[in-house]
Each structure stands twice: as C-alpha cells, then as structure tokens.
Structure 1
C-alpha cells in the first residue's frame, strides 16, 4: 500500500552510503510534500557513519519554473480573469498543505474577489475579510455560497482536492472550462495543463496584479457565511447552536483539530478569527486520528516560541474510543489541551449513511468525568459537563477561566443521536445513494 502514497522509500543495508541515501529520501519528502519510508535493519542500526553530509542542508525549496512557460501561464490566467464578469477564488486543502497561504491571502486582499474555502481548506483564509463568502462542499452548501460559486464564470481554485468528503460526495458543480486549477507542480487553465509550480505562479501573478489592477466590480458577499440561530436556554443542545457558539470561543494562536465525521463538517459552520490554524481529515476517513494528533499539536506549541497558544480538539465519542489512550500522553507531558467531546450515543454520521438503528453504530458508555483521573491520576485536569442544553453551553463559554485553566480540560457535549449539521445530513444521503447505485450495478439484472 505504501508505494501508492509515498514519494520515496529506501532500506538501508550499506553503512557507507547510508547518509547519502537518507538525505536523498528526505530531500524527496520536502520537495514532494508527501510521506517517505526509511527502513533500517536491527543489525546495522548502531553502525557509525560519516557526519560529512550534515554540512549540506536539506533542500526545502522547489525548482524554479521555466520562465517562458510561466509567463505564458500568467498571461492566460490574466486573460481569463479580464474576460470574466464574476471571478471568484476557492482555497482548498492543497493550499494549506503546500505552503502558499501567504501568497493566497495577498491575492485575496489584492483582488477583493469573493473567496471561499472547502472543508479541507478551512483556516486557509482570513474569515474576517468582507469578501470571505463561506465554505463550499457541494450539495450541503449554504445557498448563497452555492449560487455564487456555481454561477461564476472564472474560478481560481487553489490546491483543489476533490475527495469524497471534501466535495459533499462529489456533488460540487464547477465547470472545468472556467476553472484555473492550481496544484503543487502544475497549473491547469481550462483543459490545458502546464507543468509549473503554483507557488511561483502565484507570486508572479501577484506582481502582475500590483502593476495592473484588475478592472472588476466583484460581486458583494450579501449573505452571512455563518448564520446564527437563537434558542432558549432550556432547549436541548443542538448542532445548529453548537458550531456558531464554538466559533466565539476560538482566538488567535489556537490550533484546532477536527475529527473525521460530524466534527469536521460542523467546524465549517464555526467562524475562525484571523490567526487560528485548523486541520481536519477529509481524505481517508480515519476516525480516531484527531485524539492522537492533538498530542503532536501540543508538543509543537511548546516548541513554537509563543507563536501558537492553545491545542483544541473537537471529536466524537465514538472516534475518541479508538485512540483514547493518547490522553495519558497529554497528561504526562503537560500539553494542556482543551477537548470537546460530542457525546451523541454512537456513530451519528454512520447512522445517517446506513444503519440508523443498527447495533454496530452504537458505542460503549464512558464516564468522561473520570477519564483524566484514570489515565493520569497524578496530573491536574478539569472536567466540564455534561453540557445538555443551549443555556449550559452559553454559561460555560462565558465562565471566567474556561479555556485558560493551565491544565487538561475536557468538555462533554450531549447531543441527539441523529442531530447533525445540515451538510452531514445531505452528504450522508448522497453517500447512501452512491452506495446503492454501486450495488445495483454489480447485482445481475440491477
């Protein structure tokens, strides 16, 4: 399996060439921004090798584009923009993962084009800008966002990542002929693909636009990308109330990890302040990854020299069950995460796809108030909950010291077993229909 996703692999068997071989693989990892594997057998693990290669730094920059080809691509992009009446920008996962966010945000502010993100591109753009339009995810998208994107006549799609969850089960509707598709090593203008690195193309495009302002009156964002519904304090906690409320809790310097499923979709409805970094996983659907990931986030925050502040995890109780032991590491390394656990009686997103009342979508019941004591009894921790009503959540978010306790904090959010963000409900239905169609194709006479 690894060969399909790795940029390079090596198995070290010859100590004299080991350093060069390791450097080769590491250089490839940095250039491709993809995983690599280095295999090291036990019998040579302690062999001494030359330190001379350490004098040569790992190459982290991309090869420069062919200047003539880059100029051609820039000219075609500018021509497409000039001919368009309603150009827009979509910032996707590839922009976040391939280090072009500084260029992207400069482009967004320079052009004032209506700008959108996908679930995977969340936090890639300053959501406080007046031209920020919201999150695009196909069928489950806010009507204003969907209409603006799908009626546009020029789409600058930066880091397009068309996976199933990222596209609302392939329900996005943007025509190829109007799209400029920016990828790490290529830019596709309409149907023509050019082998140029998007980072340099974006940089050159920005230089051109500074000298030659785009004569456009971009469509105004007249809708609220993050609509808020009000509920009385006594109403049971609902997803419609949870996600906009959670947005008010985030602040610059936070790193937020959204678990696969309901959490990742729900966080798309939370407005992020400028300076928040968020990651979710809309590629492999690997539930449980987020609880382990927050350990790495906590360690990186410690080493960031104050740039980053709080590690925040948003996960479901079913997903947390897979990697709950990581809480022990959070406590013993004093990483001080703030964890929001959606306790909705099982795998809600799976219930909405298939098996609404099936026993296989149920999970064991935990006592979340006792988790920290069980997994790190010698370390300070705080439990908040269970949060059962809209009023409970409002009170907690206003509580002095919440989120700044200086220790592990866990919030238990009790939600209805079939309550989910609208995007989850629509995507779940799309996945169910997709699966049924596949079955019908494989069944004789179907």
Structure 2
C-alpha cells in the first residue's frame, strides 16, 4: 500500500476538514449554513466535532442569503454546498455578497481527485469531463479561489482564502474533494492565529494625506460628513464614530450606510439620497462647502436615481483602497489610519448645525381620520417603537425606502441589499441574522418584507422554527410587487401575486402549539395595540412572532416614487 511519507513526518497531523473548520471557528464563526449533498457529506461530519453547529437550510439560495445575514451581524460566515447543482443554486446569493462586500467562505464538496483526473461522467457534472467549469464561474464573484486537490497545499490555501475573505470583506471559494477530507495536514499551523489585521499605511504617505485633508477641513465653514456602507464592511466604524463625535460636524448616512452612525448623536442629520433625502437634508448637504464621504457607494438606488447634486471639487472621499481629495487620488492609503490621525489633530470646530430628524408622525397623517395603515405613518411610528441594539432587516421595495424615515435608537444594526437588490433576500438574511444575534445575546431581530418578496424564500421560516429562533417578522400584505408597479405596469397582472394565508404558514412549516405567535393588523389602532403588547414587544419572548401588516397596493414611500421614476426613465 502506498503511504504518504510527508504525512508520516507530521508531528501533529490533522485531517484537512478539521483544519478548515477549526480555522472557521477561530475567526468567530459558530454556525455553518448549507444543504447536504453526496460530495460534501463526509466533510459535514467534522462540523459538530469542531465546536460548530450545522444549520441545514431548505435550499442553497436561501442558505447563501442566510450566510450573508449572519456575516453582517457576526463579521463572517460559512456556506457548504455540493458540486454543480448545489453551488450554482447559491450563486445569486454569493454574487450579492460580492457586490455588497460581505465575507462568506463558500465550501463546495467536489468529486474525488481521481474522478476529476479521469474525467468521469458523474452526476452533477456537465457531462463533458470539465470539473473546473463551476469554479471558473465563481471566480468572477470571489476574491480568492482555493482548489484543495493537493492536500500538501491545503492548509496554505485554506489560510489564504479565509484571510482574503476577512481582509477584503468578500466571498471566497474553497473546493474540497471528498477524498481530500481525511488527508493529513500540519496541525501545528493552527497554533499561529491568522493575521487579520489591515496592513498599516506607509507613514509618510499617510501623514501627507492627513495634512491635505486638514488643510481643506480647516478652511471649511459648513462641512458635512456622509457615511456609507463600506465604512461598515471595511471595519472603519470606530474611527468614523470618533471623527463624528469629536468634530461635531453634521453627519448623514446614505441608504446603504443606515445604522453606521449613532443616530442619537446631536449632530446626526438623517438620510441623504439626493432627491429622496429626509426633510431638510438635501439642502444642508448640497449647500456644504466641503463634503467628507466615508465608504461611499454611489449606486442608483443609494442615490435616489443618481440625483446627487454635489461637486467633486467640494468632496473628500475616504475608502478602504485610498483617499481622494477633490480630483487628486492617493491610492493605497486606507481610510482607517487617515481618519484616526485627522481626528487626533483637529479640535472641536464651530460648525453650522444640520437638520434634526425625528420620529414625529407627519401632520397630514396626524390629522387624518382614515384608519388605513399608510407608509408615511408607519415608518416614523416604527422609530418610536424600536429599542437599542435591535437588528432591523428590510427587503428591496417599500421597506428598503420606508426605513429612511425611521430614526434609530442607539446601536441599531440595519441590514438591507440596496445595491444587489435581489427580492427574497431579506427573509433568508433574517434567518442568518437571528442566529448570529442568538449566539451574541442580541434580543430582537426584526424583518420587514413585502408579500411578493416573501413568496420567493418563505421556506426559511421553516429553518427559523427548526433552529428555535425568535425573530419578529412583518409581511407587508399589499398584493404584489409595489416597487415594480411604480417603475412599470401599475395595474398589470405580472406585478400581482397570489394572496396567501401568511400567518398560517408557521403551522404548515411544523411549528408546535405555542412556539409561534401570529397576528394580522389592518388599521393604525391595531398597530398601536400590537406595539403595546408586552409579549410581542419583549426581547425575552422565546417565540417567533409573525405579523400580516396590511397596506394599500398603491401606497409607497416618497423616496421610492422618486427612484422608480428615475428607473423608468433609464429603462425606457
């Protein structure tokens, strides 16, 4: 029998799969999402052995969405699928994570190295002997691809992939053949933790950029700060917060950056999205003589149809890959170090204040005698009900735009998919977020999704019940795809969906008596009653809470109307 001499020489041999899952545990992952398949089954045996929990999702797409939501709360996530049919089902979710800078380690169970070498006509293949076709597809939506076909290189490739995943905050792809799972690698490597710290900026370059930023900042009379998603994704929130607090400069968020700023701060000014901005925000931001953007993502939905009216001549952009001051670019100078030094060198400024957003109900809604729940009434009212440390997930559509009108309490985490915008995302993401919240002791995870979106990924309600999670789920029942209606086809049947008995679904998915609380609210008074129900409100309630929230089919937040109008013009 052939023996691997190099493996025999290892002083502390461990199986490849053990090495992989121990590294995942090291970076803080505690639960593994995915779907079993014959090419990954042997690897799955190692999950529980290494202090991890297998979630078990209803399908791979949902598992990918759930891993995305888990990563946004936890810092990183892992997904296991099988070769071909499984991994391709997850591609949409992984593409969304790549687009929005979410770190997911995607592990794909492969056929044996021998089968690949011989080009066998196996199930789940294209029948042409090409076993790299799918990894090539995933290479376009991964920042690293590690094929573990040689176990002597496996540990190095695993370490590289996981490090890239965290530092670049994007998905990576690891191909694990079933015969490599039990091969041996050097376990002593595990004694040295992965270096997940950002490489420091060149001091000379950094100091130069800091001086340039300070020059313009000291000359400014009414500057503003605009924080966006990449400040969250690239771990710059501490530096951002210190900068905002010390300078006192009016600070705003873009829609993708919602939750990046402590919205209880006196200088928090609201959501800036061009024409879709909160009241008074557009005027204050666009009249500024200096705009400091942190982690900006200037996509169409994030800018309300590219309706920003600001000049690059008045802008300083801080990014993970460099800093741009007006039209001068400084690549390789990461924002974290620059922000820290600017904060340290710049004292309190005498700055013109910005608007003060609140959760007051608009006068038109206060004066209305109509009992119907409206978008304009609900989202500010929600802000009055939210609690510190809540996790709030909003789906593409009315919820994503309505939440702009909600001022958050302290330490609120917001999850949405503004750039990729795959409907159905939020329900899957809520499962992952609720699981990460449970692991971290965060009490309330709250989902808002439209009925059309919910129908795409409703099975994840089953996964939540199976894993004894207790999110609060609001399904907005407004008879279809409202955001699509306002873009095109207001009353056309392709924007309609079959009306389900949504609150009957927990029982259909196997919830036992007393495990889930269900509600249907059709009026403002019923919402008020629900928001005062102690069992419903409490973060200590162990039961999943499921609400049918009824709204008019033709009602939408004002910001959505502006974005839809812009999208319709571009699509024409």
TM-score above 0.5, yes or no: yes
| Corresponding residue number in structure 2 for 1:335 | 469
Evaluate the alpha carbon distance shift between residue 232 and residue 378 of structure 1 in structure 2; reply closer, same or farther with a 3 A threshold: same
The answer as to whether partners of 2:223 and 2:249 remain within 8 angstroms in 1 is yes
* Displacement over 4 Å in runs of 4+: 231-234
Cα distance in structure 2, aligned partners of 1:226 and 1:152: 25
Among 265, 269, 285, which residue is 1:133 paired with?
269
- SS of the aligned residue for 1:95 comes to helix
Among 244, 249, 263, which residue is 2:399 paired with?
263
Range with greater deviation from structure 2 (34-43 or 344-353): 34-43
Q: How does 1:38-437 map to 2 (within 5 A)?
A: 38-194=174-330, 195-209=332-346, 213-214=347-348, 216-224=349-357, 226-229=359-362, 230-232=366-368, 234-304=370-440, 306=441, 308-378=442-512, 380-385=515-520, 387-404=521-538, 405-436=541-572
Query: By how many angstroms is 1:52 displaced?
Result: 2.3
Among 12, 31, 37, which residue is 2:148 paired with?
12
Cα distance in structure 2, aligned partners of 1:225 and 1:349: 25
Range with greater deviation from structure 2 (230-239 or 265-274): 230-239
- SS of the aligned residue for 1:157 comes to strand
The answer as to whether partners of 2:474 and 2:546 remain within 8 angstroms in 1 is yes
- SS of the aligned residue for 2:206 comes to helix
Query: By how many angstroms is 1:388 displaced?
Result: 1.4
Evaluate the alpha carbon distance shift between residue 142 and residue 253 of structure 1 in structure 2; reply closer, same or farther with a 3 A threshold: closer
How far does the alpha carbon of each residue in 1:26-62 deviate from its partner, in whole angstroms, 9 at most, with x for none?
Answer: 1111221111111112232332322122122112111
The answer as to whether partners of 2:281 and 2:355 remain within 8 angstroms in 1 is no
Is there any run of 5+ residues in structure 2 with no aligned partner, and where? 1-136
Range with greater deviation from structure 2 (258-267 or 395-404): 395-404
How far does the alpha carbon of each residue in 1:77-125 deviate from its partner, in whole angstroms, 9 at most, with x for none?
Answer: 1111111111100010011111111211111111111110011111111
Evaluate the alpha carbon distance shift between residue 325 and residue 222 of structure 1 in structure 2; reply closer, same or farther with a 3 A threshold: closer
- Count of residue correspondences: 429
The answer as to whether partners of 1:20 and 1:53 remain within 8 angstroms in 2 is no
Query: By how many angstroms is 1:225 displaced?
Result: 5.1
Cα distance in structure 2, aligned partners of 1:432 and 1:199: 38
The answer as to whether partners of 2:284 and 2:355 remain within 8 angstroms in 1 is no
- SS of the aligned residue for 2:185 comes to coil
Cα distance in structure 2, aligned partners of 1:253 and 1:203: 25
Cα distance in structure 1, aligned partners of 2:559 and 2:360: 14
How far does the alpha carbon of each residue in 1:145-179 deviate from its partner, in whole angstroms, 9 at most, with x for none?
Answer: 00111111111100001112111121112211111
Cα distance in structure 1, aligned partners of 2:249 and 2:436: 34
Evaluate the alpha carbon distance shift between residue 72 and residue 22 of structure 1 in structure 2; reply closer, same or farther with a 3 A threshold: same
Larger radius of gyration: 2
